[in-house]
Amino acid sequence: MKKYLSVLLFSVILFLMLPISTTFAYPSGLLDGKPVDYYQYNAKIRPYDCITDRLTSHCVQIGRPDLGPEWMQYDFVNLVTINALQYNGDNTVNFDFYDSSNTLIATKPGLLTKTAFDEIKNVKKLIVRPTAGITFIYEFDVFGIEQTTPSTPPIEVSQNYKEFSIPMNSFCSVSQSVDLSLNITNLKNSVADLKLFLYKKNGASLSTAGSSYDGIESTIVPATSFQLAGNETSLYHITFGGSNNNCADRVYSGKIEVDSESSSLIASGWVDGTKGNATVIINGGQSWKVGEIAEGPGNQDTTAPAAVTNLSSGNPTSSSIALSWTAPGNDGSVGTATYYDIRYSTSPITEANWASAVQVTGEPTPAIAGTSQSIVINGLSPSTTYYFALKTLDNANNVSTLSNVPSSQTSVLSYSGNIIPTTNYTVLFSSQSDSTTYGAYRAFNQNSADAWFTTSPAWVGVKLAQAKTIAKYTVARSSSTGYDGGNYTPKNWTFEGSSNGTNWTVLDTKTNQINWAVGEKREFIVSNPQSFQYYRLNISASTGGSYIAVGEIEMMEQQ
């Protein structure tokens, strides 16, 4: 046993002595600096280049059970041979390698150190999947060579249909309904001949006509041909459950079939239930064309979107700045691009420091070239100058050059006056010495010359006429030594909020608040304010031992 413990202790010491790497230095990696696509619910959402930028700052989170299947995917232009990999993240992943026929040919675990293995040939696609729940991926790459004979898939005409998944596994009963809404838009001037198919859990096709109400329209009958005029949109909506009592008819997948010789379409939808809503993603949220030659060797898209030149910033608050710009195209200034990559920094952004700028989430999908677009960047610090820039990507992951770099300064934090009125509020308390001389209401009567006085520990609070978001509060010692001659001012406390006066949320914690002068008032900022109707100061100790005295408490909203 002693020998075992000695070996274990030596191993721990040896591990702690190992250097901790903060960057991945593998410029020979096949993915070095290239964007890797993020997939969710079997649909491509957007690319990320922070995974391959040689920096180990947090990049992507995958494996979240509420978002369905998630993975990172890279499609090689030509066949490659892989002989090593390297991975950095906070949880385990698998590297799955596929050939040009989409057949899985090998799986390797992600390891922190560069790990060599027998060659895996004819790799066309790499997928990185989480194996143990929620995973933060910082960086990864694979190593090998591009095969001398490039992959040459046959040139194909694009499919005349698009299949999609519908996240319909939601609560459904006579008392809980779930709605499905879909829209299909014809992007060409000519008429498109279409069919919409919807499939139940058992694979049976739904043919029920939709319903319209409260501005929600429904014009499509599933499994029935219809014509969609150029530049127009057709809609489908149906409610499952509720008074319809049709939960068994819920649909879990669909297909849009095109019978026209040449069409260009875009489609999307949503599912809305009692417990939440989800997006129906069709073709990754991108348009698709029918009757045109798909990209193959010799006709691949190599034209990047144009750079945005009129990015502007403004309308600052203490925590946000609005951006606006004109959408570029897919090829230069023509068509519709696929993704925006928007970033900000407290220093001017250049191509050299682009990778270290903070990447924004929730960017809008690019609109057709020439369209005005905007986004509000939240979570910023007050009184701080921020610089912004964006790049635009198309569906071939061609990246535009850097946009112009505007800057704006967030405003100074400002607060309202005391929102506790002199009337129309209810005082709450755990105890008070006597209601006449030392009543709890004296902590809120806007008169610091008196005080609420009681034994420690204790709490005091208010019920407001309506919910308010308190971002700052003050605590004052009484200005009269007749009420607080022994300095019984609070020392340790939590500032708490509640929606019902029973279940309390801690909003701020203070300890060792000592050396209060007579009449002194101290201000405290709530770093994460929330809206509540009930607020209280829950005091666990005072500066005066067994007693507590509070001259005045004020509460303010952020403006």
Q: pLDDT tens, 85-137?
A: 888 888 788 999 999 888 899 999 887 777 788 889 999 999 998 887 788 88
pLDDT tens across 467-515, in order?
Answer: 999 999 999 999 888 777 778 999 999 999 999 999 999 999 999 999 9
* CA 274 – CA 171 distance, rounded (Å): 7
Over residues 388-404, mean pLDDT:
91
Q: What is the pLDDT of residue 183?
A: 93
Of 34, 120, 23, 26, nearest to 73 by C-alpha is 34
The two three-digit tokens of residue 86, written as one number:
């390297």
Which residues touch 153 (CB under 8 Å, ≥6 apart)?
100, 296, 297
d(CA 338, CA 312): 21
Mean pLDDT score, 523-527: 92
Position 14 scores a pLDDT of 38
Residues 6 or more apart in contact with residue 378 via CB below 8 angstroms: 319, 320
The mean pLDDT value for 2-13 works out to: 42
Is residue 17 pLDDT above 80, yes or no? no
Residues 334, 293 contacting (CB under 8 angstroms): no
Residue with tokens 């912004």: 388
Q: Express as a percent the part of the chain with pLDDT over 90.
A: 39
Burial of residue 274 (CB within 10 Å: 0-12, 13-18, 19+) is middle
pLDDT tens digits, residue range 43-72? 778 888 777 777 766 678 887 776 668 889
Name the strand (E) or helix (H) holding 14: helix 2-17
Q: CA-based angle 334:336:342, to the nearest 5?
A: 110
pLDDT at 33: 80
Burial of 403 from C-beta contacts in 10 A (0-12 / 13-18 / 19+):
buried
> Which candidate, 141, 154, 155, 79, places its Cα nearest to that of 111?
141
For residue 279, give Cα distances in angstroms to 43, 251, 282, 324, 554.
11, 14, 9, 25, 44
Q: Average pLDDT, whole number, for the chain?
A: 84
Q: pLDDT band at residue 149, thresholds of 50, 70 and 90? A: low
